[in-house]
Structure 1
Amino acid sequence: MLINWKSIMAVICGIDPGLAGAVGFIGDGGEFIAVYDMPTLPTTTGRRQIDAAALAGILRQHLPAFTMAERVGARLGEGPTGAFSFGHTFGSITAVLAALGLPHDLIQPAVWKRRAGIPAGADKRASVAICKRLIPGAADHLTRVKDDGRAEALLLALQGRTTT
């Protein structure tokens, strides 16, 4: 049996870190494949934390050829508990990517947002609107107010497309 290698699509992943973030997948032609809210689980303190095993399962399911994640740092005005939690989430994401041996890179928020056409200082609704325009197949998955994380994950995947 001959395989038409040109018909085989590479999967590109984008990750918007944070507990309200998401993991998005597109094809190498920019077509929508899937998007997931960041998997979390409750802790004994009642807070949530990233579910690294579930994230690994999502990544294994789609086996991306490349992943682009947002390079995050401490946020202005954030307290030590929030900063530690955010750092834990980011570290868990990068650890899962490394443990699975997935090629990946990190990109500064200002850089990918400028490349995506998101104006400086724009609110999260801009990410959703631009994502719907650039990846029309994702529109049905971007209907809630809190879906900006999904939109940003998919826009990060588009950035990963230009890297591979």
Structure 2
Amino acid sequence: MNLLRKYISFIDGINRWIGRVVMYGIFAMMAILLWSSVSKTFFLPSLWTLEMAQFAMVAYYMLGGPYSIQMGSNVRMDLLYGEWSSRRKAWTDALTVLFLIFYLCVLVYGGWDSLSYSLQYGERSPTAWRPYLWPIKLIMLTGLVLMLLQALSELAKDILRIRGEDIPREVV
């Protein structure tokens, strides 16, 4: 059980730090879109702005996902769940996180395959700007792996709760 606590602390720490840094990515997206508006109004329109804003949004979403899971910001139907005991919640969460883990494993497999293809063939976007796609695919795969590790951390927390152990605040 001590190993589980160390795993939880390590993964939660990494994802908390990345999530806190990535949350400021909204300002990068705003700057890109502001430049897009200014360049279209006063100068020649930039070819790269829309696609770069999309890439920034993907990075923001994928790297912020693990932090969102950690903070419990996911959507949950609270019709019955809110009235349950913490042990029953832990059992339900442990069961449902297994489905999430399976889904994330499938996504990681597909992401790895897509990244490998992109690197092997020098895949580029079909737009006029034509950036390489491997950097954003690498970011997506990194986000998926971090989400998988966070889902495993949540499963470990549920296992500790099912055993009746209290999880100290600094571990969570």
User: Which structure: greater helix fraction?
Assistant: 2
Q: Give the structure-2-normalised TM-score.
A: 0.26
User: Which structure: greater strand fraction?
Assistant: 1
Q: Give the structure-1-normalised TM-score.
A: 0.27
Q: Rg larger in 1 or in 2? A: 2
